Amino acid sequence: MVPPRELSARFEAYGDWRKRLASGISALHEWLKRHDLADAQIDRSIQRALARLHEDKLIVAFVAEFSRGKSELINAIFFADFGQRLLPTTAGRTTMCPTELLYDATRPPSIRLLPIETRLNAATIHEFRNYADEWVTFPLDLSAAGKMSEELARVSQVKRVPSALARALGLCDDEGPADAPAGDDVEVPCWRHAIINLPHPLLQQGLVILDTPGLNAIGTEPELTLSLLPGAHAVLFVLAADAGVTKTDLEVWTRYLNVETPAQNTGRIAILNKIDGLWDDLRPEADIAAEIDRQVATTASLLGLPASQIYAVSAQKGLLAKVTGDAALLARSRLPALEDALACKLVPDKHRLVGGLTQTEIRALADGVRALLEARQAGIGEQLAELRALRGKNQDVVLHMMDRVREEKAVFERGLQRFSALRNVFTQQTNALFDTIGLESLRDHAGRTRRGIERSPFTKGVREAMNDFFAAVRRDFDEAARQSSEIHDMMQVMYVRFSAEQGLEPFEPPPFTVRKYQDEIDRLARAYALHIDTLWNMVSRAKFSLSRRFFESIAARVKHVYEIAHRDLEGWLRAVMSPLETQVREHHLQLRRRLESVRRIHQASGQLEVRIAELEHQGEELAAQAAALQRAVSVIDGIVEQPAFLPAAQGA
């Protein structure tokens, strides 16, 4: 068997990079706790960063109409090390339901199947993941590849059901599918969704493979359109080289895969499979290569992609070559070029994304800690300046200084009253903001929309109800933008006032933007508009049922947007208020320490030099902590900026 190529090596290196990054963050957290520099906000930030690294997934989706060789391509790229086909590949349709291949350490190797009858329930696939009893589970015997392949072949199972049930499931129109045989029964997939849990090295490193059926399944399972495919880091659109881009291929691409800007299409790769069908011993190799190049150029033109994102391969010959160790056949299959392209794009892109997010969060955290250390150093500097000025002075001077510190403390405590009033206003505005984009508000919008759809099961009524739904959601986020702007402006004024009156460090609170949530809502609105246009003659109960199911998926996705916005707002509000709280707390503490120092010196002669020495030692410790913090952050920066695809030994 041909050994794993660069794709596998890069995934392994990426997994090692994530572990080292998590280790560096954990070490920083332990250091902060050891020096009493961690608080609840820092703990949450660290836990969020570590959870993101631990749960990090790289999702690669394969999309194709049937008989394009999609499952064979997955076998050839990822699972040739089994020495045989893992996923079923036979003539006709082999993948009848969306299938995820992943690794979950909390479960044994298995295939979990969601019965097709769950489509009668309004719950989404994401919601069904939380209900184990709804799934049918079969264990996988890793020691018997042949038996395991038999179990995995369940994804191709179909059954015949009465046409009335098929319509209720949204799997055929009132007139029945065009290819349905005579009679009342209709053939439908047995399963709605499949999850294959496999301890394969690539899957263990966080790779998730999404294998989707053709146009019909994408159109009838809204979650594919709304979340699974948009959430994929790369989408491989598989075509047949001998047929080129067919009408149904183009329909899948235009409706579900093509995005608005060329920059967003960088995660889309088209695969012209089955080039072995063009091989001909009676034709010169150069002529065959020219024919393949023409197919690539035509495909690029039809899909609106650069030719660099089109790969012509033979998955079947590539798999055969890997299993038999035939290097010449593997090269002729052109599969290595596709694997190298995936390796050179997917992993580095994911590395930059995860590394950038982690680095930004850790640097922000370190800036907060650094500001705290600087505030403490400034307080010690003030105390040292005052105490050194007392050298050789009489008790009257000490008393005068004590009175001055008391006055400063009184002024500060009067400022605390304003701070308390600010906290009350801040809390009121925060509660109003959370109510604006709260789930209760969304439930009200969704309830009105459901009632509107039920009252008018025709395209116009459904379109109006959905337009009202999206308008209400947009109003929520517009209002959230206005409210967050008010909070930002109020806090900005308070930071300036406290800086001027209390001598606190100047701070510019960050603004909050709702742009990314609005963009996601706009994307969902466009997806629904396309869906309505597809069902323009929505007079059948089957199409109406499908439209309702699509709305439920839309509502679930919008709920997710609200939840993310709520979580991000919580983080932003902490980032806005916490620096002021920290500065106020530290300033109060420093005033108390100054007053206590002068009081001790007043009460006991000979304490002045002792106290000066104590403060000098504390200042040295704070300087050492600041240097240690910088070193810890530099270690994390070094890990982030190290190319993930280098083996650890080379990158160290």
What percentage of residues in the chain have a pLDDT greater than 70? 81
What is the SS3 assignment for 59? strand
pLDDT digits (tens, 9 = 90+) for 440-458: 999 999 999 888 877 776 6
Mean of pLDDT values over 89-113:
82
pLDDT given at position 538: 46
Domain limit, last residue, from 302, 333, 364: 333
**More confidently predicted of 569 and 615:** 569
Structural domain contains residue 413 = no
Angle at 499 between CA 495 and CA 505, to 5 degrees: 95
Q: How confident is the model at residue 182 (pLDDT cuts 50, 70, 90)?
A: very low
pLDDT given at position 317: 93
Q: Are residues 444 and 318 in the same domain?
A: no
Q: Are residues 448 and 566 in the same domain?
A: yes
What DSSP string runs through 371-434? HHHHHHHHHHHHHHHHHHHTTT--HHHHHHHHHHHHHHHHHHHHHHHHHHHHHHHHHHHHHHHH
Structural domain contains residue 131 = yes
Report the side by side order of strands in the sheet with 191-197: 136-139, 110-115, 191-197, 99-102, 207-211, 58-63, 234-240, 268-273, 310-312
Q: Are residues 326 and 448 in the same domain?
A: no
pLDDT given at position 121: 79
Place of tokens 């160290």: 652
Domain limit, last residue, from 590, 610, 628: 590
HEC states along 569-635? HHHHHHHHHHHHHHHHHHHHHHHHHHHHHHHHHHHCCCHHHHHHHHHHHHHHHHHHHHHHHHHHHHH
* Per-range mean pLDDT, top range of 137-146, 243-252, 473-482, 508-517: 473-482
pLDDT digits (tens, 9 = 90+) for 317-343: 999 999 898 999 999 999 999 988 888
pLDDT given at position 634: 92
C-alpha atoms less than 13 angstroms from C-alpha of 216 in its C-beta half-sphere: 15
Q: How confident is the model at residue 416 (pLDDT cuts 50, 70, 90)?
A: low
Q: Is the pLDDT of residue 535 over 80?
A: no
What is the SS3 assignment for 516? helix
Structural domain contains residue 34 = no
**More confidently predicted of 593 and 286:** 286
Place of tokens 């059954």: 159
Q: Are residues 91 and 209 in the same domain?
A: yes
- Using alpha carbons, list the distances in angstroms from residue 248 to 68, 89, 254, 433: 12, 21, 10, 46
Mean pLDDT (the chain) is 81
Q: How confident is the model at residue 372 (pLDDT cuts 50, 70, 90)?
A: confident
C-alpha 270/C-alpha 253 separation (Å) is: 10
Structural domain contains residue 506 = yes
Which residues pair with residue 114 across a beta bridge? 193
- Two structure tokens written together for 420: 């308390």
pLDDT given at position 247: 87
Q: Where are the alpha helices (DSSP H) in 437-540?
A: 439-455, 459-502, 515-534
pLDDT given at position 101: 93
From 175, 181, 142, select the one nearest 158 (Cα to Cα).
181
Structural domain contains residue 292 = yes
User: Which long-range contacts does 138-144 make (Cβ < 8 Å, 24+ apart)?
Assistant: 138/110, 138/111, 138/113, 139/108, 139/109, 139/110, 140/109, 140/110, 140/111, 140/196, 140/197, 140/198, 142/109, 142/199
Structural domain contains residue 237 = yes
What DSSP string runs through 552-565? HHHHHHHHHHHHHH
Q: Is the pLDDT of residue 599 over 80?
A: no
Angle at 71 between CA 353 and CA 270, to 5 degrees: 55
Q: Is the pLDDT of residue 465 over 80?
A: yes
From 171, 154, 153, select the one nearest 162 (Cα to Cα).
171
Q: Which stretch of 261-265, 316-320, 411-415 has the lowest confidence by average pLDDT?
A: 261-265
Structural domain contains residue 508 = yes
pLDDT given at position 176: 46
Q: Chain-centre distance of CA 644, in angstroms?
A: 19
C-alpha 495/C-alpha 492 separation (Å) is: 5
Burial of 366 (0-12, 13-18, 19+ CB in 10 A): buried
* Residue 31 φ then ψ, to 5°: -65, -45
Domain limit, last residue, from 590, 617, 633: 590
pLDDT digits (tens, 9 = 90+) for 1-43: 333 456 778 888 888 899 999 999 999 999 999 988 888 778 8
Q: Are residues 318 and 449 in the same domain?
A: no
Tally Cβ neighbours within 10 Å of residue 196: 26
Q: Are residues 295 and 151 in the same domain?
A: yes
pLDDT given at position 552: 81
What percentage of residues in the chain have a pLDDT greater than 90? 24
Could you tell me the CATH number of the domain that includes residue 267? 3.40.50.300
What is the SS3 assignment for 34? helix
Contact (CB, 8 A) for 29 and 38: yes
User: Which long-range contacts does 482-489 make (Cβ < 8 Å, 24+ apart)?
Assistant: 483/429, 483/432, 483/433, 483/436, 484/433, 484/511, 484/512, 484/514, 484/569, 484/572, 485/511, 485/512, 486/429, 487/426, 487/429, 487/430, 487/433, 487/512, 487/573, 487/576, 488/512, 488/576
- Two structure tokens written together for 346: 């997917």
| Distance, first Cα to last Cα, the chain | 32
DSSP designation for 503: -
What DSSP string runs through 87-148? S---SS----S-EEEE--TTS-SEEEEEEGGGGGSS--HHHHTT-GGGSEEEE--TT-HHHH
Structural domain contains residue 172 = yes
Q: Are residues 439 and 328 in the same domain?
A: no
Number of helices (H), then strands (E), belonging to the chain: the values are: 21, 11
C-alpha 30/C-alpha 240 separation (Å) is: 55
Angle at 509 between CA 508 and CA 514, to 5 degrees: 135
Angle between helices 315-324 and 335-389 (to 10 degrees): 80
Contacts of 277 (CB under 8 A, 6+ apart): 240, 241, 242
C-alpha 644/C-alpha 647 separation (Å) is: 8
From 1, 215, 37, 21, select the one nearest 648 (Cα to Cα).
21
pLDDT given at position 94: 60
As a residue count, the chain comes to 652
Mean of pLDDT values over 115-124:
84
Domain count, the chain: 2
- Two structure tokens written together for 271: 């695969």
Q: How confident is the model at residue 414 (pLDDT cuts 50, 70, 90)?
A: low
Contacts of 262 (CB under 8 A, 6+ apart): 304
Q: Which stretch of 286-300, 306-320, 526-540 has the lowest confidence by average pLDDT?
A: 526-540
The helix (H) or strand (E) run that includes residue 208 is: strand 207-211
DSSP designation for 237: E
Q: Are residues 304 and 447 in the same domain?
A: no
Q: Is the pLDDT of residue 476 over 90?
A: yes
Place of tokens 């190799």: 285
pLDDT given at position 647: 45
pLDDT digits (tens, 9 = 90+) for 270-308: 999 999 988 888 888 899 899 999 999 999 999 988 998
Mean of pLDDT values over 407-429:
74
Range of the domain at 488: 435-590
Q: What percentage of the chain's residues is helix, strand, coil (to nearest 5)?
A: 70, 10, 25
